[in-house]
Structure 1
Amino acid sequence: MQTELAHLLHSTPSKIQVLIDGLPGDQVNVAYMRRMKENLALAKKKPYDWIVIMGGTNDLGWGQQADVIFDNLKSIWSTALESGASILALNIIETARASDRMVAKRRELNEHILNHQANRFYAFDLWSVIRYTGVDKETRARIWDDGLHLTEEGYNIMGKAVAARLFEIIQGLSSGDPSPAQVGQQMTSEK
């Protein structure tokens, strides 16, 4: 994902540095905030312009309620916004775990994320871009590793989608016409 994101964003006239700090198995209510604060402190001399935030998948898997996860995400977003950065928040993609209860909790959390409003806050409907259900077996095998994590190709699709959305927002802001807060397009069938 980092390679695709950096490649797409390097086509802009600005100098772009991409830092990915996600940890497998991490939860929003565990070490996420600590890492966010550490990264922001390290970047005080050269603060971030944009921070892309995705969190909540593991929290859902461990049985956290959507509103609790959303409250934790709002705290993280608030901390990032206080640094002066703009936020692109990603909602939660599907997984193979598709019980009615899990699907309902993911849907509730995604609606919260996409409907959240704050100055310099943008959301991206990644769920609509990377699907587990509704795609053929060959596509699923290409982009999904184990039903929870993506393959390298899947992460490249994610990186391209996030970079395209971020580029779209930045272009819109520089032209005085920011794009809508949420946009998604199906990309999982690309080869």
Structure 2
Amino acid sequence: MSLSISFVGDGLTAGGSWAEWFPEYDVTNLGLSGNTTTELVSGLDAMIASAPDVIVILAGTNDLGWRKSDEYVVRNLETILYRLRRALPATRILIQSVFPRHPDFALTIRSINRHIRQYAATQHALYLDLWPVLALANGEIDPQFSSDQLHLTDEGYQVWLDQLRPALEVLFAGSPTTSSIPIQHA
């Protein structure tokens, strides 16, 4: 029986070919274009009912499009992690950093990512920081990875996948842990 992975999030997650990229696992893509953290909180019961072996979360960027504060996004992400951990104590959870966008969002995104990195450990979730491989020095998403400062190009998905694959290997190698996953720099 293969292990199950649920990819949860917004259009960035929805756009991924996760089942194709991870054929060795039973993959469910629960990403939905336009999803905010509020929609993810509302959908937690269904996610919990499916009880996957691993949940991979990417959320928060759409909240910024609605001008939600970093505190709002952090509170929702913390709620998601807390409720998942409480309901699914044996499920491995990987939460990923909010991706860079336009430089105007950089300070808010960095604040969200800093808080979630710290909180993830308290819920025995791993944190995968993709900011270093996707962002330019000014906090903008690297144009080679996005043509509109939000959605990913094929190259953007490849960079994400190159970081995600080893992170999942670490996640599957042991029991749920409290440490974050270091990024391999080329």
Q: RMSD of aligned C-alpha atoms? A: 2.5
Higher relative contact order (CA 8 A, sep 6+): 1
Match of 2:44 in 1: 36
Is the 1:144–1:151 Cα contact (8 Å) retained in structure 2?
yes
Alignment of 1:111-150 (within 5 A): 111-116=114-119, 117-131=121-135, 133-134=136-137, 140-141=143-144, 143-150=145-152
Task: State the Cα distance separating 1:170 from its structure 2 match.
Answer: 2.5
Alignment of 1:45-84 (within 5 A): 47-81=51-85, 82-84=87-89
Aligned pairs for 1:88-99 (under 5 A) are 88-95=94-101, 97-99=102-104
Code of the aligned partner of 2:109 = R
For the residue of structure 2 that corresponds to 1:21, the secondary structure is strand
C-alpha separation between the residues in 1 aligned to 2:143 and 2:92?
33
The TM-score, its normalising length taken from structure 2, stands at 0.76
Equivalent residues of 2:125, 2:178 under 8 A apart: no
- Map 1:149-160 to 2 at 5 A: 149-160=151-162
Aligned length: 164
Report the Cα offset of residue 93 of structure 1. 1.3
Separation of aligned partners in 1, 2:33 and 2:83? 22
Percent of pairs identical after alignment? 25
Cα gap change, 1:108/1:179 in structure 2, threshold over 3 Å: closer, same or farther?
closer
Question: In structure 2, what is the Cα distance between the partners aligned to 1:4 and 1:17?
Answer: 11
Distance 1:111 1:4, change over 3 A: farther
In structure 2, the gaps of 5 or more residues are: 1-15
What TM-score do the two structures reach when normalised by structure 1?
A: 0.74
2:7 paired residue number: none
